[in-house]
Amino acid sequence: MSPGDRPAPGNAELARIFREIGDLLEIRGELVFKVQAYQRAADAIERAPFDVAAAYAAGDRRPIPGVGSAIGDKVVELATTGRMGFHDRLRAEVPASLVEILAIPGVGPKTVRAAWQGLGVETLDDLRRAAEAGRLRELRGISAGTEQRILEGIRQREARPRRMLIDRAQAVADDLVERLEDTPGVRRVVPAGSLRRRRETVGDLDLLVETTDAQAVVSRLTGLDVVDRVLGAGDVRASVHLGDGLQVDLMAMPPGGAGTYLVHFTGSAAHNVALRAIARDRGWSLSEKGFLRLGPDDEPATGADAELRTFPDEGAVYDFLGLTLIEPELREDRGEIEAAREGRLPTLVTRADLRGDLHAHSDWSDGADPIAVMADAARRRGHGYLVLTDHSQSLAVAHGLDPARVEQQRAVIAALNARYAAEEDAGSLPEGAVAGFRLLHGCELEVRADGRLDYDDELLARFDLVVASVHVARRQPRDELTRRTLAAIRSPHVDVIAHPAGRIIGGRPDLDLDWDVVFAAAAETGTALELNGSPPRLDLSADRARAAVEVGCLLAIDSDAHRTSELDFLRWGVDQARRGWVEPRHVVNTRPLDDLLAWAADKPRRV
């Protein structure tokens, strides 16, 4: 494939390249305005509501804030040739290993440049040796504490297995399913393993294919153009590496006997061990191929006594073991088998249970789309409500709203709600919309470093719903971070704590909170804790969500959307809620609009 034949990079990849250019320029010591120009362009491109590279390559150079003619020319060059000369020259001037060092938490371009020019650090090993020898602290701006944090970041990076976020893994799996499902003889293709259990990250992909022609589907997989290397191929199995290094393992299942295959290859390993023990106690050996009757010697029976039991679906497999069906998200050997035996498995929340979304942004702060566009998109998705939660004033990096802009925004929202009411009265609902949709006025309220909330009580009382979050001063001691979180929880006007742990999966650690204290206060005041559906966050984690509901906390499953497409992030939040044993009754945005507003209005009484 020639460079010009390559598909244009998506917005995320384009933004990554421009951020890297900014980093390389800063490492090289360029003027700060040049560095910032590329960083701003990266942010704008990532949030653009259209495919930037594809549009620019087609001659549609529609304006993007922060993307001038020079950067636009570079977008066109990359989109049409597959390369960018300026980027290539920078990478030739700055060792590529320095860019890799930037992946270490706490290490920015200024630190990299200081270590490179002052100590000759070019690789991760160089950086480790310099930190262990106490030489980094000799550089201006690097303290002994910073040096230790860099060492810890190196250890975390090296200890972390290479895994893919769930949304990316799902996209790869969907593509492979589409490519395989029209193979002659194929009845269905089912992604299994950790993806089917909806783990937040995925190490490799397992595909189960129910087919009458196993060899045909093995040949189809190994011949795909996305396959970089075939690791092995047999009569019913195949293992390949894709171009990005992801391993895919395929197993063919016989028609009518898929039940035990689905159970076995979905896992988890610990769950399967427990199932095999139950089967053995009942006189059977369980494997992916089915149940084999055991003989008197506790080994599979042979000859006339041999018997193999297979089942078409998983429900029949669990029933044979005396258990109710255990949903894939629960199969982690964390009490689900005992609950299935005793008939007390949770009724897990589904996407259909959610009536609306309590956390979304517009271009008034750091979102990409106008308020009306976000609201109309939520309405067409069948939401009953959407809470607009643009950032509050002190978060300048996100263009937070001061009180005057809050009031201007309130008027915009009122006008939109009037329009929706008029459309309903006229019987002209958009396709997918439900009657009674309302755009609610909220905010994402910053909890400042000193624990004060970003707006006064008088202003907060005028919002329909308030979510609060901690973005700054993340390295404060546990008691201080916990105190700040409790200040929001105990506010009479804060309804939801957004992304409570503040994590970025694989990129930023959790806030060091006293979670028992946080959960107790949230349960006492009826303040909801968010399960944020943004794939890099998924915060609360499934384990914390389960712990929270066990002590009586309410949750909110939200998208934290910054553009219309991200409204679909609710699906990932629901996945993690299901892994956390969360039921619809635990989630505030399963409530209809009037009930939600009554719950929010009751917060002053609860505190």
pLDDT in tens, 450-464: 999 999 999 999 999
Q: Has residue 372 got a pLDDT over 80?
A: yes
Structure tokens that stand for 553 in this block: 């906390």
Identify whether residues 590 and 491 lie together within a single domain.
yes
Identify whether residues 216 and 177 lie together within a single domain.
yes
Q: What is the mean pLDDT of residues 268-285?
A: 95
> Which 8-state DSSP code applies to residue 568?
G
Identify whether residues 309 and 337 lie together within a single domain.
yes
* Helix, strand or coil, per DSSP, at residue 404: helix
Q: Among residues 201, 224, 255, which one ends one of the domains?
A: 255
Q: What is the mean pLDDT of residues 115-134?
A: 86
49, 51, 57, 61: CA torsion to nearest 10: 0
Q: Has residue 177 got a pLDDT over 60?
A: yes
Q: Has residue 202 got a pLDDT over 80?
A: yes
Identify whether residues 326 and 357 lie together within a single domain.
no
pLDDT reported for residue 106: 67
Identify whether residues 182 and 232 lie together within a single domain.
yes
Q: What is the mean pLDDT of residues 274-294?
A: 95
Q: What is the mean pLDDT of residues 344-372?
A: 96
Identify whether residues 14 and 136 lie together within a single domain.
yes
Q: Residue 204: which CATH number?
A: 3.30.460.10
Q: Residue 555 is inside which H or E element, if any? A: strand 555-558
Render pLDDT for 129-139 as a digit per residue (tens, 0 to 9). 888 999 988 88
Q: How far apart are CA 494 and CA 511, in angstroms?
A: 20
Contact criterion met (CB below 8 Å) for 301 and 294: yes
pLDDT reported for residue 127: 87
Q: Residue 291: which CATH number?
A: 3.30.210.10
Identify whether residues 143 and 174 lie together within a single domain.
no
Q: What is the mean pLDDT of residues 522-549?
A: 97
pLDDT reported for residue 5: 44
> Which 8-state DSSP code applies to residue 305?
G
Quickly state the pLDDT bin for 128 (edges 50, 70, 90).
confident
More confident site: 158 or 114: 114
Contact criterion met (CB below 8 Å) for 443 and 391: yes
Q: How far apart are CA 532 and CA 385, in angstroms?
A: 17
Q: Strand pairing partners for 286?
A: 291
Q: How far apart are CA 229 and CA 546, in angstroms?
A: 40
Q: Strand pairing partners for 436?
A: none
Q: How far is CA 349 from the centre of its chain?
A: 18
Q: What is the mean pLDDT of residues 308-321?
A: 97
Q: What is the mean pLDDT of residues 550-555?
A: 98
Q: For the sheet containing 186-191, what is the strand order?
A: 186-191, 205-211, 247-253, 237-242, 227-233
Q: Has residue 7 got a pLDDT over 60?
A: no
First-last CA distance in the chain? 64
CA dist 268 → 159, 236, 279, 586 (Å): 22, 22, 17, 26
Identify whether residues 134 and 173 lie together within a single domain.
no
Identify whether residues 403 and 319 lie together within a single domain.
no
Structure tokens that stand for 256 in this block: 């009518």
Q: How far apart are CA 484 and CA 468, in angstroms?
A: 11
pLDDT reported for residue 159: 61
Average pLDDT for the chain:
91
Structure tokens that stand for 222 in this block: 């190994």
pTM of the model: 0.77
Q: How far apart are CA 350 and CA 530, in angstroms?
A: 16
Tell me, what amino acid is at 248? V
Neighbours of 598 (CB within 10 A): 11
For the chain, give the percent of residues with pLDDT over 70: 97
Question: Helix crossing, 214-222 with 166-180: angle to 10°?
Answer: 120
Identify whether residues 285 and 359 lie together within a single domain.
no
Contact criterion met (CB below 8 Å) for 383 and 355: yes
**Length of the chain (residues):** 607
Return the sign of the alpha-carbon dihedral for residues 520, 522, 524, 528.
Answer: negative
Q: Residue 569: which CATH number?
A: 3.20.20.140
Q: What is the mean pLDDT of residues 6-15?
A: 69
Q: What is the mean pLDDT of residues 170-194?
A: 96
Identify whether residues 370 and 494 lie together within a single domain.
yes
Identify whether residues 23 and 47 lie together within a single domain.
yes
Q: Has residue 4 got a pLDDT over 60?
A: no
Structure tokens that stand for 239 in this block: 């293992």
Structure tokens that stand for 208 in this block: 């189960």
Tally of domains within the chain: 4
pLDDT reported for residue 442: 98
Quickly state the pLDDT bin for 254 (edges 50, 70, 90).
very high
Q: 417: alpha, beta or left, given left = phi > 0 and alpha = psi -120 to 50?
A: alpha
CA dist 202 → 242, 247, 321, 334 (Å): 14, 10, 29, 20
Q: Among residues 202, 220, 255, which one ends one of the domains?
A: 255
The domain in which residue 556 lies consists of 351-606
Contact criterion met (CB below 8 Å) for 349 and 586: yes
Q: Among residues 311, 342, 373, which one ends one of the domains?
A: 342
More confident site: 398 or 279: 279
